[in-house]
Amino acid sequence: MLTLFIALGSLVLYIIAYITYGRWLGSKVFKLASGADVPSKQLEDGEDFVPTKKGIVFGHHFTSIAGTGPIVGPAVAVMWGWVPALIWVLVGSIFIGAVHDFGALVVSMRSRGQTVGDIAGSVMSGRVRVLFLLILVMALTIVLAIFGLVIAAVFKAYPMAITPCLIQIPLALIIGLFVHKKGKNILIPSLIALVVMYGSVVYGDVGIFQTLNESLKDWGLMVWVGVLLVYSYIASVIPVWTLLQPRDYINSLQLLSTLVLVLVGLVVAGFWGGAPDVDGQRQALEIVAPALEENATGKNLPIMLPFLFVTIACGAVSGFHCLVSSGTSSKQISCEKDARFIGYGSMLTEGFLAVLVILACVAGLGLGIQKGDTFLTGVAAWDGQYTNFASANTLGAKISSFVVGAANFLQAIGLSAAFSTALMGVFVASFAATTLDTACRLQRYVLQELAGSVLDFKNRKKPEEEIKELRKKSFFTNKHVVTIVAVLVALGMAAIPATDGAAAGTGGKILWPLFGAVNQLLAGLAFLVIVFWMRQRNMPYWFISVPTVLMLIFPAWAMFHQIFVQGVGMDGSWVEKERWLLVGMGVATLLLEGWMIIEAIKGWKAGKSGNT
């Protein structure tokens, strides 16, 4: 019953947080107004700035920010004990992550849809703007390089997820055209799309589809990465309403409904026992993992502080979210008051996803897992999956712990093992894919802003209108050019072999240890920009002062340790060769962070309120 209490208690806690703390932030701090001008209407262009209904923007925002972060992070962090992991998810998402996302969204909306990086220039200094944009480029490059590898790995492990994920693309194009061009109601198309997507999970591994899945599964790792990045290029240069927005929306319908099914399965398992059955009997649902791991040394766990706080990134707080808030969502919101539901509400939903991931790994897994020829249950299932940090930290182990545990919950309500596993495979792959294409579009914005900054400086003596025209016509700010550059750099980085003679793509995984740290560091820098913005407007910012400091210290500490002390790759092994990739990206990020903080301190002391 403890598992059930945690699940339902967390849900109630998130609802209370939304209607209390979230409402206070929206009405008393940011003072959102339904009649206020919004960028989607001020700058409507039918491509990036598109006024959109609240539910559709929520779908885009939630699926874009979630990705695989709230799945793989908690799936590993439970090794320190499920209690510290759960506390960080609950406290982090309510008081840090949701505030970060909400704040970045509001600041961007009131800055004509600019990204946080661009806003840094107006509230701090022109130098800080360039520094922040450079950090964003590095962070997004890591996301693009890694998430392509993640999706390819998911498809290889769960080929039954390939066809359902591919079917989402033509579905999204039809929905986008139907709603945007025809102006039709979204309800009926949404229901039809949902039925088709669940149908694809049922029949997506039968007959010709099974043959197709098996054929595509055998594609090489880098072939899949290349195809996925080409798709991301296309999705990021065409109007947002054609593919990115509707795909995220219909994905959110399936993903959120799947979460509901997992929760229902957890409730059923909590009251009447879970599945699969053992000797004809349902098993009692109980937490089989330690509340606090006492054998950290024996399991080769890194020190909990600071690594717990960067291992669980997206489920508690994530710097990537500020890019979604200020890069795409702020350009689509049609009513300012929708920002609380989209910014604060989406992060709480992601936090609840992280809670369910924790419970799937520490309780659902105990209902049974097949390890070779042996079927393990209870504590044996946990020990078999979480032998040590190296084995649990592989990509396959991270994903399988959640997929198996969640599929066990689904089986408790009578769904077949094959359907449950396929559905959870689609769940993971879809989250990763929506993050990948959104990240590519965001990288386009950031590179365009960076190139624009160089052009502005070069032509600073010319009239402002002439500079704007030069920006529009420049080869270096062309959306196709910068997106191709982003895709090629990510592809090249992902293709690096880990060692001499190793397969292409193995070296890209070396960047994985940096993902959590860079992600969290970005949140700290975004908080810094939000604090400066609020200070200039005489708004209260005391409630984010401590989170700002914490999110600047912990990630830098973790990154320093990873680069100069630990040196552990994605598979948990010591990386002897090709560490230049890890060290180079990490050191450059730390230097840029240090420089930006120095500039911020100087600006704070001087009380500056504009460009310098």
Rounded distance between C-alpha atoms, residue 356 and residue 367, angstroms? 15
What CATH number did the domain enclosing 208 receive? 1.20.1740.10
The answer to whether 314 touches 348, Cβ cutoff 8 Å, is no
Q: With H, G, I as helix, E, B as strand and everything else as coil, classify residue 555.
A: helix
Task: State the pLDDT at residue 568.
Answer: 46
In this predicted model, what pLDDT tens digit does every residue of 206-264 receive, in sequence order?
A: 888 889 988 998 888 889 989 999 999 999 999 988 988 888 889 899 999 999 999 99
Rounded distance between C-alpha atoms, residue 56 and residue 333, angstroms? 10
Question: According to DSSP H, which parts of 386-511 are helical?
Answer: 389-392, 395-411, 417-458, 464-473, 479-495
The pair of three-digit structure tokens given for residue 225, joined into one six-digit string: 């990465």
Rounded distance between C-alpha atoms, residue 33 and residue 16, angstroms? 22
Cβ neighbours of 231 (radius 10 Å): 17
How would you classify the pairing of strands 281-283 and 374-376? unpaired
How would you classify the pairing of strands 369-371 and 374-376? antiparallel
Rounded distance between C-alpha atoms, residue 237 and residue 486, angstroms? 12
Cβ neighbours of 247 (radius 10 Å): 26
List residues bridging with 371 in a β-sheet.
Answer: 374
Cβ neighbours of 419 (radius 10 Å): 17
Flag whether 469 is in a domain.
Answer: no
The answer to whether 450 touches 471, Cβ cutoff 8 Å, is no
Rounded distance between C-alpha atoms, residue 344 and residue 342, angstroms? 6
Residue 183: domain span = 2-455+478-606
Residue type at 107? V
In this predicted model, what pLDDT tens digit does every residue of 418-429 receive, in sequence order?
A: 999 999 999 998
Question: What is the distance, to the nearest Å, from the Cα of residue 504 to the centroid of all Cα atoms in its chain?
Answer: 25
Rounded distance between C-alpha atoms, residue 303 and residue 514, angstroms? 16
The pair of three-digit structure tokens given for residue 421, joined into one six-digit string: 């596993």
In this predicted model, what pLDDT tens digit does every residue of 359-379 receive, in sequence order?
A: 999 999 999 998 888 889 999
Cβ neighbours of 187 (radius 10 Å): 9
Query: CA angle, 100 as apex, 436 and 338 as ends, to 5°?
Result: 85
Q: What DSSP string describes 461-491?
A: TS-HHHHHHHHHH-GGG-HHHHHHHHHHHHH
Rounded distance between C-alpha atoms, residue 47 and residue 241, angstroms? 7
The answer to whether 81 touches 290, Cβ cutoff 8 Å, is yes
Low-confidence ranges of the chain (pLDDT < 70): 181-184, 393, 395, 498-513, 566-581, 607-612
Flag whether 370 is in a domain.
Answer: yes
Flag whether 612 is in a domain.
Answer: no
140 to 16, 291, 322, 424, 489: CA distances (angstroms): 34, 35, 12, 26, 11
Flag whether 340 is in a domain.
Answer: yes
In this predicted model, what pLDDT tens digit does every residue of 298-346 receive, in sequence order?
A: 888 888 988 899 889 889 999 999 999 998 999 999 999 999 999 999 9
Rounded distance between C-alpha atoms, residue 92 and residue 87, angstroms? 8
Q: With H, G, I as helix, E, B as strand and everything else as coil, classify residue 537.
A: coil
What is the residue whose two structure tokens read 């490059």?
Answer: 141
Flag whether 148 is in a domain.
Answer: yes
Flag whether 473 is in a domain.
Answer: no
If residue 171 lies in a helix (H) or strand (E), which one and from where to where? helix 162-176
Q: With H, G, I as helix, E, B as strand and everything else as coil, classify residue 113.
A: coil
Flag whether 463 is in a domain.
Answer: no
Burial of 294-305, coded b for 16+ CB within 10 Å and e otherwise, reads: eebeebbbbebe
Is the whole model's pTM more than 0.85, yes or no? yes
If residue 11 lies in a helix (H) or strand (E), which one and from where to where? helix 2-17
List residues bridging with 216 in a β-sheet.
Answer: none
Task: State the pLDDT at residue 543.
Answer: 92
The total of structural domains in the chain comes to 1
The burial class, CB within 10 Å (0-12 / 13-18 / 19+), for 374 is exposed
Flag whether 128 is in a domain.
Answer: yes
Whats the size of the chain, residue-wise? 612
The pair of three-digit structure tokens given for residue 256, joined into one six-digit string: 């959120």
Rounded distance between C-alpha atoms, residue 83 and residue 603, angstroms? 40
455 to 129, 469, 472: CA distances (angstroms): 14, 11, 11
Rounded distance between C-alpha atoms, residue 392 and residue 387, angstroms? 7
The answer to whether 512 touches 146, Cβ cutoff 8 Å, is yes
